[in-house]
Amino acid sequence: MTSPLVGRDAELEHLCSTLGISSSGDVADRSAILLAGDAGVGKTRLLTELRDRAIDNGWQVLAGHCLDFTDSALPYLPFSEITGRISRELPDVFDDVAARHPALLRLLPGQRMLSQATDPESLPADQGALFDGVHALAEAAGARRPTLLVVEDLHWADQSTRDLMSFLFSRGFEAPVALAASYRSDDLHRRHPLRRQVAEWARMSGVERLQLEPLAAADVRRLVQELHPDPMSEECLSDIVTRAEGNAFFVEELVGATWARGGGVPVDLADVLLVRLQGLDEAAVTVVRAAAVAGRRVSHAALSAVVDVSPADLDRAVRDAVEGHVLVPSRDDDFYQFRHALLAEAVYDDLLPGERTALHAAYARALLEGRATGTAAELARHARLAHDYATALTASLRAGDDARGVGGAEEAAFHYLQALELWHDSRLPEDTGLDYPRLVGLVSDALVAAGHPARALGVVREQLDHLPEGTDDSVRGQIMGVLAGTLVMTETSEDPTELTRAAVALVPDEPTNARAKVLAAHARTLARAGRKDEGRPVAMAALALAERLDMPRLASDIRTTLVGLERSVSPESIAEALRAASEDAAAAGAANAELRALLLLGHHHLDLGEFGRADEAFERTRARARAVGTPWVPWAAEARWTHAVSLRLQGRWDEALQVLDISRESPPPIYRALMTATRAQVMAARGETAAGELARELHDFWPLEGLIAITGGSAELMLHEQAGDQAAAHTTYRLIVDTLTRIWHPQFQARVRLATITLSAFASGATHRSAAERADDHDVVTRLAADAHGVLDRRGDALVSWGPEARAWEARLDAELLRWRWAADIDPPNHDELVEAWRRAERRAEVFADPYELAVVRARLATLLAATGDADAARELAVAVSDVAGRLDAAPLLAMLGPLRQPGRPTSVPSARPTLTPRETEILALVAEGRSNGEIGRQLFISTKTVSVHVSNILGKLAASGRTEAAAIARRDGLIG
């Protein structure tokens, strides 16, 4: 019996209208719906009615469901269900698409069963190809006939399924394909992984979120009357209306309870749900309890393997459960499911502990013996809850391999961690025969691949710290090697070289896989430390051993390390060697080695200022990482970020912001912070004061990733200079340096750039400082220059790469120091010396070719040329700077020009009183009061960016270099009171 649809007519019509479900098959502009609501409120019932309406209008409906047991995480489960349905019902469509997208074959339900052998060394699925395949399959099905895809219970979805949903939502469909997905909104607690993604999905074009509210009291009364046509006392009816709280499922159960108990309603809701079982015979109750242990869905074969009754008795028992409205047969396959998940949960919770354990053990035996079909993840769950830890351990390993095979890094990490936990369980038999160091390595690799290197480091360190006394030296050494390999993925002051050196000493010098791995790890850490002479023989020994033991992936990784250990080779040779290493790794299926080689190749070209080649390498790294299902593995994340940095350096700011756009993604927090810091840097260069708050919010991430401190801190330094706040600039500089000194070393290369930007803030504000203040500033400026020169003195160090960018900042450092001395009138340089320093900075900036930094140098040079009497050269530079400022939308660049902002304008401050618009006068008055752009915007009800543009215009009109000077000029000329 299907309950009537009461009180949902408006929602149903809205769904049909939004999704374009009609006989014409036209899909509306919004072709995706997120249906949210509390458990039992009627989401499934509404989707069932939507399905029936769609079928009546000639649509085909394909549904998939997420598992309700998170410890049986199986990547892409609902899409396996949908794929299997299409392969059965539209075999020609499936075969045609699968021929073009073979990754689809991995999603077929039959490919994910225990009967299918899993090669733990097999390549991970090409996640990008898999996503494209699912999309193409939906397009092909939609081209045949308008198609509605339904994915239910997203609150139980694994990360891979959520990622695929993001892909489908963002890409949309050309064919008439609509997508409806449901989830329990009451399950989305603050840290639920779906919560943030729902917010992101709801902002996407073509996606609408519909919250299904509880039924109104009048609708509840109508529903009760539909379900219970016989007369019912007002007292009982009111009691149902009150207790159901608009929840349709609770209404049905409460009405059902009145039938079963002759009008009485149980007090406890669990008793209400279990009333359904009271009308069943003993065999049916046994079947229902067994089904609850399986989950919300269970196959007939699994029930027959677990319930000890004859086939005929099983059929009768199942029929009784179906007619009792407890189980519902699947329309598509040989499965049964509970009419509602809450009912399954109530039945499971009602079982005694011994009953649960026995049923889980029965399912595990049936899966192991092949009497029931299922996945390794299901076997792991049943075995663990049956306390069969040896079986659970091996099944968890197999489930991790399966998840990795379809690109599910998050799920692989989950299962490997389960296996690690089981390994340490004191009840585990000693003869399990598991390679413990390999398991630790699998956990680390999976967590790193999922974008959680810090968590991987914590897990591996915990394993090493808690090794029992008497642990074999080889085991300890191998785990130390894993720890060192994980360390290089995080910011730490710990030297991984010492770890790998100790690991090599502990692992016997014998031709074993363990020896090859620790040698490879030691070679990599030596290369990272710049110890080329020491590292090369170690790498050669590791390579020889890897080739001897037929370890092609490890061999590929070692060849990449060897490139970095070469001495006295040309840049072209290094690039060619890295390209060869990436191709070799790709052929061997060594995805991580391939990504590392491509990232190093991109960095190599970027250091040489070869932006086109660098971008190509970074794009390829990102594409390959997405293809193998590890878009946030550190090498890929760094490539994406560095690609954005490269685009920013080229003046392609809008493209950089596109690369940094993670609004439709769910990166790990550390990479979200890194992308946000670079976005703040672009915003700050455009004069958007909101960048300051954005950057300051990232301070907690500085000790975790130094690049966030450098990038976000640079944004703050730019804003401090624009505001004329030298003290704040110096405070920020010291905070960055103190942070990076703790996790790196005092002479980190970016210190030259940071010191130069800070020194620039002092030079720009020197003319507005008193003699006493300038004298105090002298000590600060001297220390800043000394800090930078401390790094410059190490330019021959192997750790410091001195390419065009570094040389450009070196020249600007000297020029800024002279500019400060000139502006502060402290040991000022002569005009020729000053101009020549800035001309040298200009030449270096031209080689580096960053249009913004070149424009900054030219703006400073232009004002100096104007002050020294070379007006024609100053105007020529001003024109070039204005062009760049307009192209980049960088208002602060124009402000640097002062009176030169408009080409042809006199280089001295005009005597005529400038003309300000009423809005500019209003804003200038607030500036004079010391208000920030954000405060002004809030007071005048305009955006902060608009205020910033007005302030830049005011500075230009007044020929003021800062806000303080603008206020002084305005008061002097009577522009404000």
pLDDT digits over 880-910, tens only?
999 999 999 999 999 898 878 754 333 333 3
Question: Alpha-carbon torsion 91, 95, 98, 104, what sign?
Answer: positive
Q: Dump the DSSP string for 132-186.
A: HHHHHHHHHHHHHS-EEEEEE-GGG--HHHHHHHHHHHHH--SSSEEEEEEEEGG
d(CA 166, CA 201) in angstroms, rounded, equals: 7
Residue-level pLDDT at 430 = 61
As given in the structure block, the two tokens for residue 664 are: 């439709």
For residue 71, the one-letter residue type is D
Residue 420's contacts (CB-CB under 8 Å, 6 or more residues apart) are 439, 440, 443, 459, 463
Residue 460 burial (CB count, 10 A): 23
What is the rounded CA–CA span in Å between residue 971 and residue 977?
Answer: 7
Residue with tokens 């710990």: 494
Per the CB < 8 A criterion, the answer to whether 339 and 328 are in contact is: yes
Phi, psi (degrees; rounded to nearest 5) at 279? -90, 0
Contacts of residue 797, Cβ cutoff 8 Å, sequence gap at least 6: 530
Q: Which two tokens stand for residue 70?
A: 């998170």
Q: What is the pLDDT of residue 906?
A: 35
Contacts of 563 (CB under 8 A, 6+ apart): 574, 577, 578, 581, 597, 600
Instruction: Determine the average pLDDT of the residues in 825-834.
Output: 89
Q: Poorest-confidence range of 425-434, 808-817, 966-975?
A: 425-434
In angstroms, the CA 143 to CA 138 distance is: 8
CA distance 813 to 362: 74
Q: Looking at residue 643, what is its pLDDT?
A: 95
Q: How far apart are CA 914 and CA 516, in angstroms?
A: 75
Residue with tokens 């030169």: 900
Res. 73 pLDDT band, cuts 50 70 90: low
For residues 332 and 262, is the Cβ–Cβ distance under 8 A?
no
pLDDT of 115 higher than 60? no
Whether residue 401 contacts residue 410, with contact meaning beta carbons closer than 8 Å, is answered with: no
Identify the weakest region by mean pLDDT among 479-483, 792-796, 886-890. Answer: 792-796
Longest distance between any two alpha carbons in the chain, whole Å = 106
pLDDT at 6: 86
- The reported pLDDT for the residue numbered 939 is 61
3-state secondary structure of 914: coil
Burial class (CB in 10 A: 0-12, 13-18, 19+), 767: middle
Q: Which residue has the higher pLDDT, 274 or 802?
A: 274
DSSP 3-state of 769 = coil
List the single range of 112-116, 211-215, 414-418 with lowest mean pLDDT.
112-116
Under 8 Å between Cβ of 734 and 931: no
Of 908 and 28, the one with more pLDDT: 28
Structure tokens at 178: 């609509």
Least confident of 234-243, 594-603, 834-843: 234-243
Q: Are 547 and 584 in contact (CB under 8 A)?
A: no
Find out whether 300 and 337 touch, Cβ atoms under 8 Å: no
pLDDT number for residue 333: 66
| Tens digit of each residue's pLDDT (9 = 90 or more) over 414-466 | 899 999 988 887 666 665 567 888 899 899 888 887 778 888 888 999 998 88
Structure tokens at 613: 């080649």
Q: Which residues make beta-bridge pairs with 152?
A: 65
Q: Is the pLDDT of residue 738 over 90?
A: yes
pLDDT (mean) for 190-195: 80
Length of the chain: 977
Above 50 in pLDDT, residue 25? no
> Mean of the pLDDT values across residues 648-654?
93
> Each residue of 325-383: pLDDT tens digit?
889 887 666 889 887 777 787 888 889 999 999 999 999 999 999 888 888 888 999 99
Q: Roughly what angle, to the nearest 10 degrees, separates helices 944-958 and 933-940?
A: 110
CA separation for the pair 908, 894 (Å, rounded): 16
| Closest listed residue to residue 384, CA positions, set 159, 68, 69 | 69
- Cα separation of 306 and 362, whole Å? 6
Burial of 779 (0-12, 13-18, 19+ CB in 10 A): exposed
Whether the Cβ atoms of residue 640 and residue 670 lie closer than 8 Å to each other: no
Residue 139 pLDDT > 50 = yes
Rounded CA Rg of the chain:
34
* Distance separating alpha carbons of residues 350 and 938, to the nearest angstrom: 58
Q: What pLDDT shows up at residue 768?
A: 82
